[in-house]
Amino acid sequence: METGCRDGIYEYSTLFFHMPEKNIPDFFYYPLCVGHYFCIPPYRVNRSRYDSFLILYTKKGKGKVCVNGVTEELLPGDVCILDCYRPHEYFAETDWEILWLHYDGGIAREFFELLTNRIFLKLSLEKTEEFECAWEKIYNHFFYQETCRSALISHEISGLLTAVLMEKEENAGKKSRDFIDDTLQYINRHLTEDLTLERLAKRVSLSPFYFSRRFKQETGYTPYHYIYTSRIHLARFYLKTSEDTVKEIGYRCGFKSEHSFCTAFKNEMGQTPTEFREG
């Protein structure tokens, strides 16, 4: 074993325990223990139960967490929240610097279930400085031996959890916008083809119902209306800039017949393609 290291934990790591007040209000969060660890293999925690919830944040290095047969790698910037009322395991894969907090009380379980419908939450943070600052507010009460006021500590734990929730929602929104942007580009490249709802949903691995709902939330259009409107706009361009016949332009813009093109164009523009071209 290396000098200054026991069970894979370096001696300059820190750990603080806290006994919550007996008369603490039921709706307050409270810490049970908090630590800043510098670890190497063979550091490993394998418990059947430790009555609390755990926030585990990787600052440097690499570790893994395993719950109910599901294993996730933890890299710098990753935060993991565990329900420690059930069996859980986490361990160092390399040198591993972690910030962690065991907490309970308040609506800890309800908030955990809000964060994830899985057996644990693992999230790669973009705003790491914001998270670390929120964690340090809690940690510093113990490190500097400050008086721990229950209301303040509860507020700070709530702030830490809220920071995770907000980042999770922002990440979900960004991913949603990414698949919408990709779909819009795909539609514009394939306007002449048969772009069914099923085809568009399948290429992004979503159900047609969910895809259609998210598409309208992000664009204000149903997929059908967006495709329909895009084809009319493209037809307007060709009618003014090319010498192709109305029939040729209709097919070029994805309409299956001259009649369907002319009907759609007049419904949208209030005039026939020929009238638009000559106007």
**Final residue before a domain boundary, out of 144, 172, 200:** 172
Q: Is residue 31 part of a domain?
A: yes
Asked if residue 15 and residue 85 are part of one domain, the reply reads: yes
Same domain, 119 and 223: no
In a domain, 118, yes or no: yes
Using a pLDDT cut of 70, give the percent of the chain over it. Answer: 97
CATH number of the domain within which 266 lies? 1.10.10.60
* 113 φ, ψ (degrees, to nearest 5): -70, -25
66 and 132 together in one domain: yes
The pair phi, psi for residue 97, each rounded to 5°, is -100, 125
Which residue, 172, 200, 216, sits at the end of a domain? 172
Residue 74 has pLDDT above 60, yes or no: yes
Range of the domain at 265: 190-279
The reply to whether 145 and 228 lie within a common domain is no
Q: What is the pLDDT of residue 176?
A: 65
Q: What pLDDT is attached to residue 3?
A: 60
If one compares 81 and 118, the residue with the highest pLDDT of the two is 81
Strand partners of residue 45: 90
Closest to 127 (Cα-Cα) out of 173, 176, 61, 171: 171
Average pLDDT rounded to a whole number, residues 253-272: 93
pLDDT tens-digit readout, 84-126: 999 999 999 999 999 999 999 989 999 999 888 778 999 999 8
120 — alpha (psi -120 to 50), left (phi > 0) or beta?
beta
> Same domain, yes or no, for 16 and 113?
yes
Residue 239 CA: distances (Å) to CA of 95, 163, 190, 249: 66, 53, 19, 7
CA 141/CA 16 separation, integer angstroms: 10
CA distances from 41 to 4, 7, 45, 67, 73 (A): 14, 8, 11, 19, 15
Annotate 2-35 with DSSP letters as a single string. Answer: -TTEETTEETT-EEEE----TT--TT-EEEEEEE
In a domain, 184, yes or no: no
Per-residue pLDDT of 212-247, as tens digits, reads 988 998 889 999 999 999 999 999 999 999 999 999
178, part of any domain: no
Residue 110 is assigned to a structural domain of this protein: yes
Judgement on whether residues 58 and 109 belong to the same structural domain of the protein: yes
Tell me, what's the pLDDT at 186? 92
Q: What CATH number did the domain enclosing 142 receive?
A: 2.60.120.280
* Residues in Cβ contact with 93 at an 8 Å cutoff, skipping those fewer than 6 apart: 41, 61, 62, 63, 64, 73
Give the per-residue pLDDT at 16.
97
Residues 140-192 pLDDT 10s: 999 999 887 899 999 999 999 999 988 887 776 666 677 888 899 999 999 98
* Cα separation, 61 vs 5, whole angstroms: 17
The tokens for 23 are: 């008369």
Co-location of 83 and 205 in the same domain = no
DSSP tag of 144: T
pLDDT of residue 1: 41
Over residues 19-24, the mean pLDDT reads 88
Query: Contact 76/59 with Cβ under 8 angstroms?
Result: yes
167 and 205 co-located in one domain: no
Q: Which residue has the tokens 């997929």?
A: 223
- Give yes or no: residues 140 and 240 share one domain: no
**Residue 182 region, left (φ>0) first, then alpha (ψ -120 to 50), else beta?**
alpha
For residue 183, is it within any domain? no
Give the pLDDT score at 117: 76
Whether residue 237 sits in one domain with residue 149: no
Tally the residues of the chain.
Answer: 279
DSSP letter for each residue of 43-86: -EEEES--SSEEEEEEEEEEEEEEETTEEEEE-TTEEEEEETTS
User: Is 177 a domain residue?
Assistant: no
Q: Where do the H-state alpha helices sit in the chain?
A: 108-115, 128-143, 150-189, 197-203, 208-219, 223-241, 246-252, 258-269, 273-278
pLDDT for 173 equals 65
Percentage above 90 pLDDT, the chain: 75
Number of domains comprising the chain: 2
In a domain, 179, yes or no: no
Clarify whether residues 244 and 270 are in a common domain: yes
Say yes or no: 119 and 218 in one domain: no
Helix (H) or strand (E) holding 147: none
